[in-house]
Structure 1
Amino acid sequence: MSPQPAGHTVTVLGECVADVFTGPATEAGPSAGPDALVLRALPGGGPANTAVALARLGTPTRFAGRLSRDVFGELFRGRLARSGVDLSACVTAAEASTLALADVREGGQAAYSFHAEGTADWQWSDRELAAASLGAGMCLHTGSLALVREPGGTRVEEHLAAARPHTTISLDPNVRPLLVEPAVYRERLHRWCELADILRLSEEDLAHLLPDATPEEACDTLHTAGAHLVVLTLGERGALLSLDGVRTTVPGHPTHVVDTVGAGDSFTAGLLHHLATLGRLGGRLDALTLDEAVDAATYATKIAAHTCRTPGANPPWSHDLSSTGSAS
């Protein structure tokens, strides 16, 4: 990999969420009784996961988030800082942290229920967003709930538009129908495509956003709306890439799956990291070739696969990849 530029290369804007997993009562010890439910909290949230993965891979990364003063907020700060993420654009918020109760089912897939009303992540003000200097750096990545939950969602969208002349815009809708009706995402999808240079979405996202379209039809629709590089992740089957309508697929990277929490976020980080090393971030992707996009997505599948090997959203460090022969 080529040396990274000084300062931060990518700003990630969005939420931190505590992923809370359940365990058997026996984990609480013999005094807990048969009716106990053990809860184990791990730091998560799609944008925060992406920031952590980028920094661990070696891309200078800044996170813009509203972090609570509560115990979970301290958990988030610690994880981000230890991963090497710049927290200078974060806001210390009076509101509580967002919690997601994760139910990991057979095959490692996780289903969530959320505790998110009035929590810190969605309360962005224009003043806070302006202070975050979103147009600084070569790339601004955002998406997930911070882009649609009000009152902050509309303001985030406006500040993306202001940042776009100065930076590559990367978006991940990460549809969460339990918290926001899919119709809300669909109403705003066209505007997001106008803003986005890179749009990464999962098969599940596509089913909510364009339910009657094939993947190829969906790519054409998203390109027509303005997105240059569309990446549809297909889980263990890899990803479909479409660069201004020219399409190809990359296979998945075989791995032993413990759970899939954070895999899509790690894929996005791997993609942006590789594009940064190619010098393709900082504009409208005009010089990006399909072969380069394939190389970036192939690297991204390795990062996602590595994340699936461990519980929770725990993306690899660059030295982990070297030790397993997965470095690009």
Structure 2
Amino acid sequence: MPTLESPGTVTVIGECVADAFTDPTRSGADELALRVLPGGGPANTAVALARLGTPTRFRARISQDAFGALFRSRLTDSGVDLTGSVTTSEPSTLAIATLDDTGQATYSFYADNAADWQWTYGELAAGVYDDTVCLHTGSLALIRDPGGSRVEDHLAQVRERVTVSVDPNVRPLLVSPTAYRERIPRWCALADILRLSEDDLAVLLPGTGPEEACDTWHAAGARLVVITLGERGALASLDGRRITVPAPPVDVADTVGAGDSFTAGLLHRLAALGHLGGRLDGLNLTDLTDACTFAARVAALTCSVPGANPPRAGEAALEADTGLVLNPWS
């Protein structure tokens, strides 16, 4: 087993989203009942990282409304440090989620003028990164302005001190695909790690296969590109050297938060192996395979329960099938 190190902090910047699911058991002919769960890609990743045992700080703009209270409760109960987050009167983002027969979710968003996209340069500059080895961001907080471009500029300012991880988490219903295609080269130039899904790939580079896409994004600057492929596992490319890992078999409740949990598992394991904090110069394919295998298991366990509810350190189902120790520092 590889030698594990005590990890530094992973800081996540991004949005919280109230994920509302229809509840047929409480709905009727003249009313629609909704069950609201706390979500948002970056928030899900922060929760999963903290539950796995990585010291995690989440920087978000969290509303004072009822959804904001729900977000804070989930984050703090999972062990996430909210230092650097901003409390604001602007409303939370709401997403109405619809699940198909396979548990795959599609969303309708209510996000105009929401708290998540209003970052100022002053708010971002107030962050402390002395203990941070990796800064992860992405999703809507990196693309919706006015805050998105400011978060992007912030990455450029801090990347000399930390490993930068980006998950585009493409939402074409809210943001034009053209906007993503224009911004992705800039994100690759800033990022050491680019993690995205096969669905994201189809929007960003239509008609392009995963391996060709990896080469395109390497040329733009990203050293490590990881593309999750659903039930087919994941492809990872480190400076053009590829590995693939399978997806563990699982009875799927839904796929909400699966990609976010994969990202958390990947960053958790890379931190444990001592690869975060710089430009991934010491990362090899053996450790990359280890990290992606672990990440796939975290994602599978998230799919086995409803909503974005990632596993916690010490859960037997996670450790038994991988032989990996989740949190050896506790």
TM-score category by the smaller chain? over 0.9
Q: How far 1:94 moved relative to its partner?
A: 1.1
Q: How far 1:132 moved relative to its partner?
A: 1.9
Measured in 2, the distance between the counterparts of 1:100 and 1:158 equals 27
Q: Secondary structure at the match of 1:206?
A: helix
Q: How far 1:3 moved relative to its partner?
A: 5.6
Measured in 2, the distance between the counterparts of 1:249 and 1:212 equals 21
Q: How far 1:252 moved relative to its partner?
A: 0.7
Q: Secondary structure at the match of 1:257?
A: coil
The match for 1:198 among 190, 193, 201 is 193
Query: Quick one: which amino acid aligns to residue 6 of structure 2?
Result: Q
**Any conservation in 2 of the 1:135–1:162 contact (CA below 8 Å)?**
no
Map 1:74-223 → 2, pairs under 5 A: 74-133=69-128, 137-223=132-218
Tell me what 1:4 maps to.
6
Q: How far 1:2 moved relative to its partner?
A: 3.7
Q: Percent identity?
A: 65
Is it true that 1:234 corresponds to 2:236 in the alignment?
no
1:217-260 Cα distance to aligned partner (Å, 9 max, x none): 11100000000000000011100010000112111111100000
Tell me what 1:280 maps to.
275
Measured in 2, the distance between the counterparts of 1:72 and 1:169 equals 29
Measured in 2, the distance between the counterparts of 1:149 and 1:137 equals 25
Tell me what 2:16 maps to.
16
Measured in 2, the distance between the counterparts of 1:133 and 1:84 equals 18
Measured in 2, the distance between the counterparts of 1:138 and 1:267 equals 19
**Any conservation in 1 of the 2:261–2:310 contact (CA below 8 Å)?**
yes
Measured in 2, the distance between the counterparts of 1:53 and 1:292 equals 20
Tell me what 2:327 maps to.
none
Tell me what 2:312 maps to.
317
**Any conservation in 2 of the 1:134–1:160 contact (CA below 8 Å)?**
no
- Using the size of structure 1 for normalisation, the TM-score is 0.95
- Using the size of structure 2 for normalisation, the TM-score is 0.94
Measured in 2, the distance between the counterparts of 1:216 and 1:188 equals 20
1:74-122 Cα distance to aligned partner (Å, 9 max, x none): 0000000000000111100110000010001110100100000000000
Map 1:247-266 → 2, pairs under 5 A: 247-266=242-261
Tell me the C-alpha RMSD between the 2 structures.
1.4
Tell me what 1:291 maps to.
286
**Any conservation in 1 of the 2:156–2:190 contact (CA below 8 Å)?**
yes
Measured in 2, the distance between the counterparts of 1:34 and 1:287 equals 60
Change (3 A) 1:222 1:9: same
Tell me what 1:243 maps to.
238
Change (3 A) 1:19 1:149: same
Measured in 1, the distance between the counterparts of 2:104 and 2:131 equals 36
Q: How far 1:69 moved relative to its partner?
A: 0.1
Q: Secondary structure at the match of 1:256?
A: coil
Query: Quick one: which amino acid aligns to residue 189 of structure 1?
Result: I
Q: How far 1:167 moved relative to its partner?
A: 0.1
**Any conservation in 2 of the 1:134–1:159 contact (CA below 8 Å)?**
no
1:194-234 Cα distance to aligned partner (Å, 9 max, x none): 01100001000000111132111111000000000000000
Structure 1, unmatched stretches of 5+, are none
**Any conservation in 2 of the 1:135–1:163 contact (CA below 8 Å)?**
no
- Hey, which bits of structure 1, 4+ residues long, moved more than 6 A? none
Q: Secondary structure at the match of 2:54?
A: coil
Aligned residues: 321
**Any conservation in 2 of the 1:135–1:164 contact (CA below 8 Å)?**
no
Q: How far 1:145 moved relative to its partner?
A: 0.2
